[in-house]
Structure 1
Amino acid sequence: MKKIKCIVVDDEPLAVSLLGNYVQKIPFLELVFSSENPIEALEFIQKNEADLVFLDIQMPELTGINFMKIVGDKMKYILTTAYSEYALEGYEHNVVDYLLKPISFDRFNKSILKAQERFPLNATKDANHFFVKSSGQQYRVNFNEILYVESIKDYVNIKTETQEYIVLETLKSLENQLPENFTRVHKSFILNVDKVKSLGLKKITLNSNHEIPIGESYKMNLLDKLK
């Protein structure tokens, strides 16, 4: 099982220590960075891979909300704060959960279970398939059976010739995790190029006769993949 790489950012040293200890107690989590300085955390993210940030909202150098605006949806967040009134604002971003201080391990663990559901590709993955959670169940999906992946607000639809899997995930987070024969062809679609039958000016026809749109800015990249 691939571990979820975690970062802890909080201006309180005790909170950094506590959350770091909690992370180390969960087998599928890996603490890759922790700091009391959000600027240092931003520098780390620019140069290193990470999946999940435990993020304090109220920090003097940079608020957690502004931190999320800078990093964007390449990361997922569990917010931590002593002030419950910030919860609604935080949920406008790519936030998994909200932890109110002081944080017990039991509450932390419940939050992590929520986070685990948001990383469907971190469940056993190899060169041929991965497992995704859809409608409350885990499904094995073979890469070579996927036609395309479509973004539907906070979800994606993984479409095969016989099934559809609606998964709580963002298209951007899947893009770098799929094999090389998958490529973005539209702001809302990732395509398995092995399934392409023909390419038109504004649409792609697949071997299954499904049709999906193609964005002009993605066309040259697709042509390179098809070569």
Structure 2
Amino acid sequence: MKRIKCIVVDDEPLAVSLLGSYVEKIPFFELVFSTENPIEALEYIQKNEVDLIFLDIQMPELTGINFMKIVGNKMKYILTTAYAEYALEGYEHNVVDYLLKPISFARFEKSALKAQERFAVNQDSQDSYFFVKSSGQQHKVNFNDILFIESIKDYVNIKTENQEYIVLDTLKSLENQLPENFARVHKSFIINIDKIEKMDVKNVSINSDIEIPIGETYKSEFFLKIKK
């Protein structure tokens, strides 16, 4: 199993430092970012791959609950709070656990193991769909219906056989949520390999009338995947 990419978001500098040191002690965790500013965290998530967020519920600029409403369920969360009564608010989101301050390493380690188990289950499962937020609503999208996904500035267009969904996300983030029959073929495109009708060294044709370029950076890995 790959290491779980973690960020820490807490308005208290000591809490950021402590949680960061805890994360670095867990062999299957990787600390990729930490901040006292939730707005900075939102900007980081838009541009980088993140799996798990250690998130303080009570922050003056943006509460943890509102933070999760903005980001949605594409991330998993471990909530941190000084007040036990606030922790339960988060369970409608993709929350693995909550940690009540002050946080001991022993309690943190239990939470980490719970996260590891959750990620392992997700990797082993054969889910045939995921949910994406588009036009203010959560939409269930079947993987088998997806033709390709295109990056458009800060958004992605998930194109299915009958619909398209404009989602605030990155291709890099979506790659980790897609099954093995998807491949990145270009800096701006992920395709469903099962939908390929024909191809050459420069382009892939999907559903006859859709032609997608194969970027030089992705060519070797893509053709290796096709051979497998």
Fold agreement, TM-score > 0.5: yes
Is contact 2:9–2:55 with CA below 8 Å preserved after alignment? yes
Structure-to-structure mapping, 1:52-67, within 5 angstroms: 52-67=52-67
- Deviation track 1:197-226 (CA, whole Å, cap 9, x = no partner) reads xxxxxxxxxxxxxxxxxxxxxxxx973699
DSSP 3-state at the match of 2:99: strand
- Deviation track 1:139-179 (CA, whole Å, cap 9, x = no partner) reads xxxxxxx7x72569xxxxxxxxxxxxxxxxxxx97873422
| Structure 1 residue identity aligned to 2:207 | L
CA distance in 1: counterparts of 2:32 and 2:208, whole angstroms:
36
Instruction: Show the counterpart of 1:140.
Output: none
DSSP 3-state at the match of 2:58: coil
Task: Return the offset for 1:193.
Answer: 3.2
Instruction: Show the counterpart of 2:72.
Output: 72
DSSP 3-state at the match of 1:17: helix
Structure-to-structure mapping, 1:214-225, within 5 angstroms: 223=207
Instruction: Show the counterpart of 1:17.
Output: 17
CA distance in 2: counterparts of 1:7 and 1:225, whole angstroms:
42
Taking only the aligned residue pairs, the percentage that are identical comes to 70
Residue 178, structure 1, aligned to residue 179, structure 2 = yes
CA distance in 1: counterparts of 2:13 and 2:209, whole angstroms:
49
| Structure 1 residue identity aligned to 2:61 | E
User: Per the alignment, do residues 177 and 58 of structure 1 end up closer, same or farther by CA in structure 2, a change over 3 Å counting?
Assistant: same
- TM-score, normalized by length of structure 1? 0.60
DSSP 3-state at the match of 1:32: strand
Aligned-residue RMSD, C-alpha: 3.8
Is contact 1:82–1:102 with CA below 8 Å preserved after alignment? yes
Unmatched 5+ residue regions in structure 2? 132-172, 184-191, 196-204, 212-228
- Deviation track 1:93-142 (CA, whole Å, cap 9, x = no partner) reads 110001000001111011111111221278xxxxxxxx627xxxxxxxxx
Residue 49, structure 1, aligned to residue 53, structure 2 = no
DSSP 3-state at the match of 2:49: coil
User: Per the alignment, do residues 105 and 173 of structure 1 end up closer, same or farther by CA in structure 2, a change over 3 Å counting?
Assistant: farther
CA distance in 2: counterparts of 1:70 and 1:222, whole angstroms:
33
Shift >6 Å, 4+ stretches: 172-175, 224-227
Is contact 1:9–1:55 with CA below 8 Å preserved after alignment? yes
Aligned length: 162
1:149 to 128, 135, 142: 128
CA distance in 2: counterparts of 1:59 and 1:6, whole angstroms:
19
Unmatched 5+ residue regions in structure 1? 123-130, 134-145, 153-171, 183-190, 195-220
